[in-house]
Structure formats: C-alpha cells, structure tokens
Amino acid sequence: MDSDPDTNGAPEPQLSEDELRLSYLSLEDSRHVPQGVRLERNGSLPADFYDAREDIKPDDVEASPPRMVTGGREGSSKGKIGLIEGLEMDGEAPPSPSSSGYAGERGSSGGSSGTVEAADGGERVLHDDWDKGKQRIDEDDTSASWRKRKKHFFVLSHSGKPIFSRYGDEHKLAGFSATLQAIISFVENGGDRIKFVRAGRHQVVFLVKGPIYLVCISCTEEPYEALRGQLELLYGQILVILTKSIDRCFVKNPKFDMAPLLGGTDAVFSSLIHSFGWNPATFLHAYTCLPLAYSTRQAAVAILQDVADSGVLFAILMCRHKVVSLVGAQKASLHPDDMLLLSNFILSTESFRTSEAFSPICLPHYNSMAFLYAYVHYLDVDTYLALLSTNSEGFYHLKECRIQIESVLVKSNVLCEVQKSILDGGLHVEDLPVDSSLRSGLPCPHPSQGRAGPSSMSDIGGPAGLWHFIYRSINLDQYVSSEFSSPLNSSRLHKRLYRAYQKLYVSMHDRQIGPHKTQFRRDENYVLLCWITQDFELYAAFDPLADKALAIKTCNRVCQWVRDLENEIFLFGGSPFSW
Amino acid sequence: MASRRRMLLKVIILGDSGVGKTSLMNQYVNKKFSNQYKATIGADFLTKEIQFEDRLFTLQIWDTAGQERFQSLGVAFYRGADCCVLVYDVNVMKSFDNLNNWREEFLIQASPSDPENFPFVVLGNKIDIDGGNSRVVSEKKARAWCASKGNIPYFETSAKEGFNVEAAFQCIAKNALKNEPEEEIYLPDTIDVSSGGRQQGSPSGCEC
C-alpha cells in the first residue's frame, strides 16, 4: 500500500448546504494524521478523513513458522501437537511479514502460486454456469492435484467420521478426517480450543459446533475472520437441511454417521462455497434487491402481505439471488444470512426448477432447532416464490396462495418488469451523475504517471477512475453493488476484488481496535476506499492511479446517488422483517 | 456425502508397544511388511474399502501408539469407535496380561452406550517367530480369556506372513456392523408459532 502523497495541498471540497443532511466524507485534516482511531464526534458533521495505515494491525500470525493459535492460552499446546502425525502441510517458507501490511491477493491471483482452485476455472462471466455438484470425486489426499487446491472445506463428526469434503471422496479421505479430529480433540483434552494453524502459506481454520467439526485449509490469504465466517455459513447450511436437533443423534449414539442424512446435497454446499468468491452477501451479512420501480415492488409487497396475513410465516419472491419482495408475518423477522442460505439451497437444488416443491427447511437464526415447511415454485426461469409455513400439512394452502400471487404478479406486470430489470442490470458506475466540479477545474490527476490526462481515467469505469462500489444500508440490512464493467471483466478479477473488500471489511470491523470510520488504501491493483457511518457502509474501488481528493468526492457522489435511487434499489417493507 | 449408501466404520487398534499393530495394519491395507521397527507417534490413520455381504464399507483404522506416554490421547481417539481391536504378541506374556487393561481403559474412555456388547476382536500376533518355539501364550489360554469377556472373537495372526490378517479384518467389519443400531427416522420438531416461534430453550421430543 502506497499511501497517498496527501501533502500536496489537497483541496478541501466545499460542501453544499443541502448535502449536509448526510454525513460527509471530506479531506479535512488528512495531513495531520493522528495515530490510532479518531472517533467521529457527531454523525452529522463532516467526517475527518485520515489515512488508516496505522490502524491496520500487522497480521500477527503471518510472520511465524507453523504455529497454533488456540482459544484461551495461545499456543499453549504447542509442541505436544507434534505427537500427531499425518497432517502434512506444504512446507514452504513462511511469507515475509508484509511491509505493506496488505499482503493482498498474491495467492488468489493465480499464476504465481502454481496452485489451482477449480471454481476459478476460466473467465466465466456468469456465476450460474459453473459445474454443479461434487468436483474431482476421484481425488484423495494422496493426489497431487488434491494437495494443490487452494481452498479446502471439510466437515466431520467429533468421532472423526467424514461428513463433507469440497474436493475428493469423503470415504477415501477418512484417514485425513481422522487426523483433523485427532488435532481438534487433542487440544480440547487440554481444556483449550484450537482456532487456527499457520503452516507456510496455508492457514487451517477450525470451527467446533458441538459434535460437528468444520475445517478450512486455505492459501488464499483471506483473513482468519473471513474464513471463520465462511465456516459459520457452511454450518448454517447444514442446519438449514437438518436443524440443530442433529446434535441429539450424537448424544444418543457417538458413532452416528451423519453423511447419509445429507445425501444428495453436495451441490448445495459446493454452490455455497463457490458463492464465497462472488457473493458479497456472504461477508456483508446483508441481502440485495433487484432494482425495480417503487410502484412495481409495492405491488409485489401488497400481494405477499395478503398471504402473510393468511398464516404464511414468510413470503419471499426472489430473482436469482436478489430479492424482489419479502414479507414476514407479524413480528417474524428474517435474518440476511438465513435468506442467503435459503436462496442458496433453492438455487442449487435442481429439482425445485422442475416442479413445485414442498420441503422441510430450517432457518438457523429464526429457530435452529425446528423445521419450517417451504413451498417453492419457479414462476419463470429466474424468479421463484418461497412460502414458509409452520404447518407440515400446509401444501395445498400454500399452493393456493401461490396461484393467487402468481395471477396478481402477471396481471400487474411485475414478472415482466423483473425480466426487464435483469436485462437492464443494476447500477453502472458509468452512470454516476457527475457535477461540474468533478468534470472541470481540477488538476490532471497524475501528471507524473505519464497519463494522457483526465480523460483517460474516464475511458474505463466511472468518473474519477471509479471501478466499482458496494453500499450497505445498516438499518435495512441491504446492500447494493454496482455492476462490473471494464476493466473488471473477468470472474477472476471479480473474485480478487471481493476478497479485497472482504479484507477491508474485516479490518474495518476489527473487534479489538475497531470499528473504524474510514480507510483509504492504495496498492498495485486498486485504490480502495471504505467509509462507515451509523447509517451505511461504503466500499469503493478505484483505478490504482486515482486521485485521492477526487476519489473522496466521488464517494460522496455515490452515496448521494444511492439515496436518490433508494426507492428503487432497496425494499422498504411495511412489516418489520428486518432486525 | 455419499450418494451410494456406504458405511464408515471407525476401528481402533490397541495393544502394548511392539506387538505389531502397525505391521498388521500395513499388511492388511498395503500388503507390505517390514522387519524394521518404527514406533508409532500418537496415531496413524489408514483407510481401507471392503465389501461385505454386498455392501461397501470404509474402514477408518486408528493405529495408536502403544507407549504409555501417549495414553493421554485416549478420549480424543476412542470417541465414536465402531470396533476395537486388541493386539498382543504371543511371545510376550506381559503383552497378553495387559489386554485386560487395554480393554478396560477403552471402555472407560470411549464409554460406549452398551459396554457389555461392544465389539472387540483379539489378535495374537507374531505366531511365525522361531517357528512357534518362543511362544509363551497358548492359544487355549487366549481363547479362555476371550470367552470370559463375552466371547470376543480371537485370531492368531502373522503380520509378516500375512497369515489370517484378511480373515481377522473381515470379522472386525462384521462385528462392527452387527453393533450398528437400527436405522431410525430423523424427525426434528416443527416450529410452534403459538409459543412464540422463535428459538426456544429446550424443545422436546426428538425422534432422531
């Protein structure tokens, strides 16, 4: 990260009065950066912007040789773990502590590392067309290809019986699974809890959920918190299918083999793991809506509200992974993670597409112990309706509700509007309204870089070199993300950007020294800007040569733009479905 | 997750150090034998797929270290075992005497739901040594002990010559399977909206 040379007399943007109702990001004081966190005095005043270099805690687990970090007493069991053999990590030299504090995406950018991640494959633009189901079933821990995979996920029981592996056949990996259990249980025996192990460039992250153990082995350089969050979602997906009552099977019978109960759900887990690389909902803990005219969405809300009043707990109309409309019965609220897991379950289960279906499902944040019953029906190839009820015999009632809803949606043209919205796409950075102050009267952003001038900046991406942004509304639990456009035109680049955002997210929400208000980073790939207020979080990526003052100004524009469009891009429900 | 219905059986091998636990496993899984003694550190894990009565099984074999200093690993290793194999050296009386300790230690640590009927198998190894002339534990004595512990199946093996190893493991699989509880239907609760709907303290009635 090269810090912006912000001593060259950065202009202080003049704020117009009417923009002051929003909190505002400005360059004030950026020359005199205090060390540590500066708290904003008042949300309505201009936020002081400062370079966040000092706030980024050096990754304290990165610099040392293989090392174990446990819950209570860090590394207390070190040495004894050597009793257990079999977990052979690639014995590469640990990376040198990154002087940039942002080791970034060396691992995930591919090529240089010589490792493979199958889901990366090719330059797929659509995320929908990846191979569903288990990948590389023929591999096991003795295969070179298996060992080179950049990101493994395992689920096993507390007796070491394999439940799920992202790559390879679970039964062939029984020995590996046993090794993982031995490590976890060994540390547990000492009254401790293992959190992760660093081995060269690999990080092994453990998550123990009662009798179910989840492990991620990754060399993607994603932060521990991010990988742990992914394991939490993986566990949540298990609960969606089986509920937490599964724990009692283990109490009754420690030998319990859970894998058969999850039969046929490989695609659900593979799809979820795949989404860690493309769906920001997996780390933002928010959902996103399909952009629609306010009146169109309200029409959909109204009809869903009608059925919710007739005993349906949740009525959800979605298009791919975006929400069209959503209504909960009185006092029932739906957690964004539950929505993510539910929509992943529906989208990755092929049989839902072929006929109307009725399936028990669990929403872990709503009630992890018990099942709800979901009626799922695709209204067209992308749009589906999920009606959730507590009545296991509610199929015919829900079917009637669906018929009623469908006819209203067709009559009121909602489905056509949905299709139109898919074709139009969401927000494009190129369309960001630009006022005159951004267009003219500003110095050439980087004369020293030999660029032709400001115009070359706007040739690709949006104004001021804006490439992409995500805006998350905190009160609504919703986010809106701009569409990818040039130069971010491959799935590999998308994934790299999401991982950079994810890293930004983790560093902004650091439990010990955070949360932070603002962060500005520049590396060889992007300028990243993050701004968090009481109301929203903004993550923006710019051309790496973007001018800081302009970038900040552009972020203010983005926020204004999002607010101008909020009735179309967000769902404002009448019922309190949000926390 | 298996699409075909396969079963995974966790098998723990216990016995004094040097009785040939690792050699037995190597002979069984890899059809190899080495005269060189290499102490197992902690535990080794091997898998072997077998077919038994038209069903496919995966044996997950936990080859543990016999040395006392590793006994602290017990609980972690024994949990959820489907079968326990006790191995002794027919040429070393102490290794036979210790079978009782190994068995009891296992039952304490693993605390299986039905300890009386937990499937054990006893293997008397190294019957090839010195043409059987250095043998100190007679087959009769071993069988008597096995009979007294609830008719534990007994095999005399030679890991070196591969004698009886296959048969012993077939029996291990059979016994592990016999002990498998009846398949029950997994049926969690349904949410009861009238009592709030949201997370409850301890819902009742699991039929899993």
Instruction: Give the domain extent around A128.
Output: 121-284
The residue with tokens 């420690």 is A254
Interatomic CA distance for residues A97 and A73, integer angstroms: 24
Residues of chain B found within 8 Å of residue A164, distances taken between Cβ atoms: 1
The residue with tokens 């009043």 is A309
The arithmetic mean of pLDDT across residues A185-197, rounded, is: 90
CA proximity to A214, closest of A262, A152, A171: A152
Note whether A44 and A177 are same-domain residues.
no
Number of folded domains that form chain A = 4
Termini Cα distance of chain A: 37
DSSP lists the bridge partners of residue A156 as: A162, A213
Mean model confidence pLDDT for chain A: 77
Partner residue opposite A158 with nearest CB, options B6, B80, B188: B80
Residue B149 lies in a domain: yes
For residue B132, the distance in angstroms to the closest alpha carbon of chain A comes to 35
Instruction: Give the domain extent around B68.
Output: 7-179
For residue B122, the distance in angstroms to the closest alpha carbon of chain A comes to 21
CA proximity to A562, closest of A326, A357, A289, A302: A289
Note whether A279 and A164 are same-domain residues.
yes
Residue B29 lies in a domain: yes
Give me the sign of the Cα torsion angle A51, A57, A59, A63: positive
SS3 at position A570: coil
* Amino acid letter for position A576: P
Per-residue pLDDT tens for B45-78? 889 988 877 788 899 999 888 776 666 666 678 8
Partner residue opposite A263 with nearest CB, options B2, B181, B197: B2
pLDDT at A346 over 60: yes
- Mean pLDDT check: name the lowest of A85-89, A359-363, A479-483: A85-89
CA proximity to B157, closest of B175, B171, B147: B171
Interatomic CA distance for residues B50 and A104, integer angstroms: 46
**A182 neighbors A188 (Cβ within 8 angstroms):** no
- CB neighbourhood size of A21 (10 A): 9
Note whether A295 and A278 are same-domain residues.
no
Give residue B195's pLDDT. 56
Residue B202 lies in a domain: no
pLDDT at B128 over 80: yes
Interatomic CA distance for residues A216 and A384, integer angstroms: 32
SS3 content of chain A, % helix, strand, coil (to 5): 35, 20, 45
Interatomic CA distance for residues A208 and A156, integer angstroms: 10
Interatomic CA distance for residues A330 and A574, integer angstroms: 11
Note whether A391 and A455 are same-domain residues.
no
Name the band, by pLDDT with cuts 50, 70 and 90, for residue A577.
very low
Interatomic CA distance for residues B95 and A54, integer angstroms: 63
* CATH code (residue A334): 3.30.450.30
* Interface test mutation site (partner A, options B7, B26, B29, B60, max chain A beta carbons within 10 A): B60
CB-based contact A182 B190, cutoff 8 Å: no
Residue A227 lies in a domain: yes
Residue A115 lies in a domain: no
A557 dihedral zone (left: phi>0; alpha: psi -120 to 50; beta):
alpha
- Mean pLDDT check: name the lowest of A76-80, A145-149, B135-139: A76-80
Q: Which tokens hold the place of B190?
A: 């349904």
Residue A216 lies in a domain: yes
Element (H, E) at A364: helix A364-367
**A465 neighbors A551 (Cβ within 8 angstroms):** yes
CA proximity to A275, closest of A217, A348, A202, A225: A348
Residues of chain B found within 8 Å of residue A81, distances taken between Cβ atoms: none
Residues of chain B found within 8 Å of residue A372, distances taken between Cβ atoms: 190-191
SS3 at position A24: strand
Note whether A20 and A93 are same-domain residues.
yes
Note whether A275 and A152 are same-domain residues.
yes
CB-based contact A243 B188, cutoff 8 Å: yes
pLDDT at A273 over 70: yes
Interatomic CA distance for residues A387 and A308, integer angstroms: 9
pLDDT at A57 over 90: no
CB-based contact B79 A86, cutoff 8 Å: no
Name the band, by pLDDT with cuts 50, 70 and 90, for residue B136.
very high
Give residue A574's pLDDT. 47
The DSSP code sequence of A78-129 is TTGGGG--------PPPPPPPTTS--TTTTTT-SSS--B-GGG-TT---STT
For residue B175, the distance in angstroms to the closest alpha carbon of chain A comes to 14
For residue B140, the distance in angstroms to the closest alpha carbon of chain A comes to 33
Residues of chain B found within 8 Å of residue A243, distances taken between Cβ atoms: 188-189
CB-based contact A367 B198, cutoff 8 Å: yes
Residue A81 lies in a domain: yes
Buried b (16+ CB within 10 A) or exposed e, A397-413: bbeebbeebbebbeebe
- CB neighbourhood size of A311 (10 A): 15
- Interacting residues of B183 by C-beta distance below 8 A, sequence separation 6+: none
Number of cross-chain residue pairs from A and B with Cβ atoms under 8 Å apart? 168
The DSSP code sequence of A428-442 is -GGG----HHHHSS-
- Mean pLDDT check: name the lowest of A19-33, A163-177, A271-285, A373-387: A19-33
Sheet-wide strand order for B120-125: B43-52, B55-64, B7-14, B83-89, B120-125, B154-156
Give me the sign of the Cα torsion angle A163, A169, A175, A179: negative
* Amino acid letter for position B176: A
Above pLDDT 70, what percent of chain A?
71
pLDDT at A21 over 70: no
Q: Final residue of a domain: which of A385, A400, A424?
A: A424
Give residue A86's pLDDT. 34
* CATH code (residue B40): 3.40.50.300
Note whether A278 and A129 are same-domain residues.
yes
**A66 neighbors A92 (Cβ within 8 angstroms):** no
Q: What pTM did the predictor assign?
A: 0.79
Number of folded domains that form chain B = 1
Interatomic CA distance for residues A133 and A348, integer angstroms: 9
- Interacting residues of A384 by C-beta distance below 8 A, sequence separation 6+: A317, A318, A319, A346, A352, A376, A377, A378
Residue A113 lies in a domain: no
Residue B188 lies in a domain: no
**A368 neighbors A337 (Cβ within 8 angstroms):** no
Partner residue opposite B60 with nearest CB, options A178, A360, A370: A178
For residue A187, the distance in angstroms to the closest alpha carbon of chain B comes to 9
CB-based contact A175 B199, cutoff 8 Å: no
Whether omega before A447 lies within 30 degrees of 0, making that bond cis, reads no
Tell me which DSSP letter residue A69 carries: E
Name the band, by pLDDT with cuts 50, 70 and 90, for residue B6.
confident
Whether omega before A515 lies within 30 degrees of 0, making that bond cis, reads yes
* CATH code (residue A232): 3.30.450.70
Give me the sign of the Cα torsion angle A247, A252, A256, A259: negative
Interatomic CA distance for residues A344 and A273, integer angstroms: 10
pLDDT at A68 over 80: no
Note whether A333 and A266 are same-domain residues.
no
Residue A339 lies in a domain: yes
State yes or no: ipTM above 0.90: no
- Mean pLDDT check: name the lowest of A85-89, A176-180, A568-572: A85-89
SS3 content of chain B, % helix, strand, coil (to 5): 35, 25, 40
For residue B135, the distance in angstroms to the closest alpha carbon of chain A comes to 33
Residue B53 lies in a domain: yes
For residue B13, the distance in angstroms to the closest alpha carbon of chain A comes to 14
CB-based contact A182 B43, cutoff 8 Å: yes
Residue B96 lies in a domain: yes
**B154 neighbors B146 (Cβ within 8 angstroms):** yes
Give residue A185's pLDDT. 87
* CATH code (residue A556): 3.30.450
Residue A367 lies in a domain: yes
Residues of chain B found within 8 Å of residue A170, distances taken between Cβ atoms: 1-2
Tell me which DSSP letter residue A13 carries: P
Residues of chain B found within 8 Å of residue A174, distances taken between Cβ atoms: 8, 45, 47, 58, 60
CB-based contact A159 B81, cutoff 8 Å: yes
**What torsion, rounded to 10 degrees, do the Cα atoms B17, B22, B27, B30 define?**
-170
pLDDT at A435 over 80: no
